Amino acid sequence: MKITFRNFRIIDAFSDMTGNVRVNGGRIVDVVPESAARADPGIEDGGLVFDGGGRLVLTGGFVDMHAHFREPGSSEKETLESASLAAARGGYTSVVCMANTKPPIDNEEAAAFIKRRADTLGLTKLYPAISLTEGMGGKRLSPYLATGPSRENAYRPPLLSEDGRDVEDDGLFAAALRRAAANGHTVSCHCDLGGEDAAVERALRLGAGSRVHIAHVSTKGAVELLRRHKKLKPRSGITAEASPHHIALTHGDAEAAGAETFGKVAPPLRSEEDRLALVEALKDGVIDAIATDHAPHTEEDKLNGAPGFSGLETAFAVCYSTLVKRHNFSPQKLFSLLSAVPARILGLSGCGAVSKGGSADLVVLDTDRETVIDGAMFASRGKNTLFSGKKLYGAVVLTLCGGRIVYQQAF
């Protein structure tokens, strides 16, 4: 499909300008700055034309390093279809889904099957993570790590993770990290064993020489550990993420909703001091990326204490309202945290930016639009969010994945 985006503010990690972008055959075929766009008709024969009026923002599709799609085994919480629709509505064109399904995704064949189904849907580019241990039981290496990638290379995950729990045995954890590093894999670490700070210290210590990624950082102590480690070992390859709910909310919000029910998440919402430490760490690069930790549940699940919130459809508005409006981040910095940096960590070439020749994974944003969040309207089956009823700035109005429009609302 041929599409021209005319008179948009084009922002990514590398540029901030007004101009035109042309898409054809799933690729970005031209990026024309405003100075040249005056003489540019901006129309492809037989193609669609969208006019941004110089106000709407066009940026690279968002990349989520951390989401729970619940398939296989928990279709009452989420299906591949509902999660993919939620991703498209949230502007996410690439997503890593975690392995803690029923049964867990611990081998190449299971992961490849999920990816093929997602590719058939065509709503988002899905990359299933593979677990570190067999069945996520913490007793022996997963079949994928034990044998290594197949010669046929049916599927190579950009991330390995035991998210939802830690590998308790130090020897097994260290062996998994070494084996992952030998095969060029990054490992996302949950970091909860003995408390977040202690678990982060353990992951940094046992992961020396490995590509370790610290998931959902939530404490000031963990931030300081990462800051110290990165200063001492700037080329260690350690990366980290923060989640929108930890960036925007505190334990007071959890308590108001019910700390053991609708306000429960792992790790828990922390103090305002912790929240501000995350904001500062995102600003100066100690925390590299933002990831949703999308965790859909039924209402019954939440009443019974299941931890987590649905986050794909609220992430942009939450982050824009919190980081740009409240804490003076530039839009360019925010979009880098949501797109280019996670793409780089995952090794997803050709996405996360608006550049000629790159993949046509793009999102159109109305940063002036005010939105009142209503979890009941989510595409996700999980309506669990602490942002229901909150007025936030910023809306996703169009998502383009591989050159196809997968979500659109009125501009």
Q: What is the pLDDT of residue 49?
A: 94
Q: What is the pLDDT of residue 330?
A: 97
Q: What is the pLDDT of residue 265?
A: 98
- Tens digits of residue pLDDT in 180-191: 999 999 999 999
Residue intervals in the chain for CATH 2.30.40.10: 3-58+358-408
- Tens digits of residue pLDDT in 200-211: 999 999 998 899
Is the model's pLDDT at 395 over the cut of 60?
yes
DSSP 201: H
Sheet architecture: strand order including 289-290: 159-161, 186-189, 211-214, 239-242, 289-290
Q: What is the pLDDT of residue 43?
A: 53
Is the model's pLDDT at 152 over the cut of 80?
no
- Tens digits of residue pLDDT in 277-300: 999 999 999 999 999 999 999 999
Distances (CA, A) of 46 to 4, 38, 49, 350, 363: 11, 21, 10, 26, 22
Domain made up of 3-58+358-408: CATH architecture: Roll (2.30)
- Tens digits of residue pLDDT in 81-97: 999 999 999 999 999 99
Mean pLDDT, all residues of the chain: 95
Residue intervals in the chain for CATH 3.20.20.140: 61-346
- CA end-to-end span of the chain, whole Å? 20
- What's the average model confidence in pLDDT over 190-194? 96
Q: What is the pLDDT of residue 154?
A: 76
What would the CATH number be for the domain defined by 61-346? 3.20.20.140
Is the model's pLDDT at 275 over the cut of 80?
yes
Sheet architecture: strand order including 92-97: 62-67, 92-97, 125-128
- Residues identified as active-site: 293
